[in-house]
């Protein structure tokens, strides 16, 4: 089993520019120069207002929100994030200018680190074809909690996962009962919950929240369209947790501002 963690990079995928596709002064590339980007706000108890290039994009953005993937144009964006209701003429809690290049499907997650401090990580989502009868399954630890095991039907399949790492596998399509336990124990921290792993999909499970505050929860993201013909079955695909292939290396700590800007920007981009 292989764990991965986002790799620090100044402009990695430019994913902080989530939802900034229509910002007034952004430098945008051609329509075909886009990335597909989702954002998950996983910081409990933190409502924020987000601005890009001086324009308010999302007022009162709530924790627990996961946006759908949206195409975003490449460009340069100045991001500012304020506590919800704060004067935007004041000093922002976070300010960052980011570049947005094209390509890839990714999710940016604003969450708590293992010590309970807010941070942001970006992850690439595997949208490559999966063998007939199979599905992608990814688990991401983005909670203020110690190392965990993720079990399917009571059997650990992702072991000793620490914040902010992830594990990915190809698995048989079907419904599985999953829960999260403290690593090496049977002490259930989250769940159980049923996961419907449909053929040709990628299911991404986020363990988020705070163990200390007793608000740990699961959030599920599902991406579709990864079907392949039976003739394309990969004989190496397996449900053996020790043989599951690595994919979707993370892309960098991009700053909280960008991760919290998806919703309003989508409507601006469509306007």
Query: What is the token pair recorded at 144?
Result: 């203020």
Strand order in the sheet with 148-152: 155-161, 148-152, 174-182, 188-197
Neighbours of 74 (CB within 10 A): 21
Confidence at residue 249, expressed as pLDDT on a 0 to 100 scale: 29
Quote the DSSP letter at residue 252.
B
- CA 197, CA 90: separation in Å to the nearest integer? 46
Query: Measuring CA to CA, which residue among 137, 139, 130 is closest to residue 225?
Result: 130
Confidence at residue 199, expressed as pLDDT on a 0 to 100 scale: 95
Taking only Cα atoms into account, the Rg of the chain, rounded to an integer number of angstroms, comes to 18
DSSP H or E run through 256 = helix 256-259
The domain spans of the chain are 3-124+252-270, 134-232
Q: Which residues of the chain have pLDDT under 50?
A: 2, 6-31, 230-271
Confidence at residue 82, expressed as pLDDT on a 0 to 100 scale: 78
Q: What is the pLDDT of residues 159-202, one digit of tens each?
A: 999 999 999 999 999 999 999 999 999 999 999 999 999 999 99
pTM of the predicted protein model? 0.71
In the CATH hierarchy, which top-level class contains the domain 134-232? mainly beta
Confidence at residue 77, expressed as pLDDT on a 0 to 100 scale: 63
Contact 110, 43 (CB under 8 A): yes
**Angle 191-204-242 from CA coordinates, rounded to 5°:** 85
Query: Measuring CA to CA, which residue among 50, 36, 24 is closest to residue 101?
Result: 36
Give the end-to-end CA distance of the chain in Å, rounded to a whole number: 45
- CA 75, CA 21: separation in Å to the nearest integer? 8
Q: What is the pLDDT of residues 223-237, one digit of tens each?
A: 998 875 543 333 333
Confidence at residue 255, expressed as pLDDT on a 0 to 100 scale: 33
Confidence at residue 103, expressed as pLDDT on a 0 to 100 scale: 77
- Tally the C-alpha atoms within 13 A of residue 118's C-alpha that lie toward its C-beta: 20
Confidence at residue 107, expressed as pLDDT on a 0 to 100 scale: 81
Neighbours of 260 (CB within 10 A): 31
Confidence at residue 20, expressed as pLDDT on a 0 to 100 scale: 39
């Amino acid at each position: 089993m292989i764990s991965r963690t986002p790799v620090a990079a100044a402009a990695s995928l430019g994913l902080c520019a989530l939802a900034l596709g229509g910002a007034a002064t952004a430098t945008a590339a051609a329509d075909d120069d886009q990335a597909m980007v989702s954002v998950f706000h996983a910081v409990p108890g933190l409502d924020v207002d987000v601005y890009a290039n001086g324009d308010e994009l999302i007022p009162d953005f709530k924790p627990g929100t996961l946006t759908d993937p949206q195409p975003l144009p490449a460009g340069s964006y100045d991001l500012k994030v304020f506590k919800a209701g704060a004067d935007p003429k004041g000093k922002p809690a976070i300010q960052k200018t980011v570049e947005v290049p094209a390509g890839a499907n990714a999710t940016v997650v604003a969450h708590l680190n293992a010590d309970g401090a807010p941070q942001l990580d970006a992850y690439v989502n595997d949208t490559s074809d999966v063998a007939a009868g199979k599905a992608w399954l990814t688990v991401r630890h983005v909670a203020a909690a110690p190392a965990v095991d993720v079990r399917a039907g009571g059997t650990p399949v992702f072991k000793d996962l620490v914040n902010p790492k992830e594990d990915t596998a190809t698995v048989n399509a079907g419904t599985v009962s999953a829960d999260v336990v403290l690593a090496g124990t049977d002490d259930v921290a989250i769940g159980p919950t049923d996961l419907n792993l449909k053929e040709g999909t990628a299911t991404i499970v986020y363990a988020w929240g705070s163990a200390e505050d007793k608000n740990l929860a699961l959030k599920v993201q599902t991406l579709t369209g990864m079907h392949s013909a039976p003739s394309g079955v990969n004989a190496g695909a397996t449900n053996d947790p020790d043989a599951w292939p690595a994919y979707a290396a993370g892309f960098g700590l991009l700053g909280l501002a960008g991760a919290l800007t998806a919703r309003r920007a989508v409507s601006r981009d469509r306007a």
